[in-house]
Structure 1
Amino acid sequence: MNKIGKVVAINISEKKGVIKKPIPEGEFKEDYGLVGDAHAGKWHRQVSLLGQESIDKMKALGIDGLCTGKFAENITTEGIILHELPIGTRLKIGDTVQEVTQIGKECHGGCEIRKQVGDCIMPREGIFTRVIKGGVVKTGDVIDVIEWK
């Protein structure tokens, strides 16, 4: 498995359950998440990540209009198969260090993404992290797997 990837996009929303909009860089606060994002807080799913590879799978099914943030992910990545990372793996993303806390999730009933897109890959291939060391993450930043569990 490739242990180095890159940040394709940083995405943010002020409300839960909606498509996120891209921003050029985000401030990630220790034990909180992306400042200004609805999912941030003192819990285990502070930051959500989804690979461009997963989005491309959905595009291959003929689903139009897919872009970064469409699946409500905070960080869209490329080059790392995220859902194969064990829980506890630490990632250096930009200035931050984040720890994988959960692989996938249960999709809630009123999911806007599922309504608009017809399916949601986030429950199967998205991952969640908590911020161990805060800092800035920018589009194009390197993602390095620094510790396997």
Structure 2
Amino acid sequence: MKVKRLNIRTVDKETKSLQKAVCIKGMGIEGDKNAKGGEKQLSLLPLHIREEIEEGKINGLCIPRFTENISYVGNSDLSKGDMYKIGDVLIQISSTRKKCFPECQNIIKNKPCTLVKSVSYAKIISGGIIELNDEIEAFKGKDDDF
């Protein structure tokens, strides 16, 4: 897998594209309004899903509200608990589903939402820099080994 886009959402709700992201251990990406710690410090989405959203093929209530931090290409089988090295950052997948809003038309009409099933969230175990085109490599050791 490889990082193809890096984004943050500012406190003014503006999406800002980055060439490199400063990841803060236990918090999130510097400058991101969601960098508050917890289980969702970093969000990842396959690039092909982001492109489908941009083409208008995926819609729903949260689509305009959602900005992933990392759009990536390659095998998208991220599993809860797995650890990955990206640049000099170590992350651990904390969740592999996005919460849906009950007022969303997809839920009301019982339509599946691709976004809900495609988003992964992670905790930053070891901070550092992530840059565009960095490899996302499975990490099999313990965070002490990093």
TM-score above 0.5: yes
Q: Which runs of 5+ in 2 are unaligned?
A: 59-63, 105-111, 142-146
Matched letter for residue 103 of structure 1: T
Max Rg structure: 2
Matched, 1:11 2:4: no
Matched, 1:97 2:90: yes
Rounded to whole Å, the distance in 2 between the matches of 1:70 and 1:52 is: 17
Superposed CA offset, 1:31-66 (max 9, x none):
111011011112000000001132345567756xxx
| 2:7–2:67 contact (8 Å) kept in structure 1 | yes
- Measured after TM superposition, the shift of residue 147 of structure 1 is 2.8
| 1:20–1:73 contact (8 Å) kept in structure 2 | no
Matched, 1:123 2:119: no
Rounded to whole Å, the distance in 2 between the matches of 1:47 and 1:133 is: 13
- Measured after TM superposition, the shift of residue 145 of structure 1 is 1.1
TM-score by length of 1: 0.73
For 2:68, the equivalent position in structure 1 comes to: 73
For 1:106, the equivalent position in structure 2 comes to: 99
- Give the percent of matched residue pairs that are identical in Structure 1 and Structure 2: 26
Of 31, 35, 46, which residue of structure 1 is paired with 2:30? 35
Matched letter for residue 25 of structure 1: K
Rounded to whole Å, the distance in 2 between the matches of 1:85 and 1:131 is: 15
TM-score by length of 2: 0.75
SS in 2 for 1:104: coil
SS in 1 for 2:50: helix
Matched letter for residue 48 of structure 2: E
Q: Runs of at least 4 residues of structure 1 off by over 6 A?
A: none
- Measured after TM superposition, the shift of residue 88 of structure 1 is 0.5
- Measured after TM superposition, the shift of residue 122 of structure 1 is 2.9
SS in 2 for 1:124: helix
Q: Which runs of 5+ in 1 are unaligned?
A: 64-68, 112-118
Superposed CA offset, 1:6-46 (max 9, x none):
10011011138x56221111100101110110111120000
For 1:86, the equivalent position in structure 2 comes to: 79
Of 16, 21, 24, which residue of structure 2 is paired with 1:21? 16
Rounded to whole Å, the distance in 1 between the matches of 2:114 and 2:33 is: 20
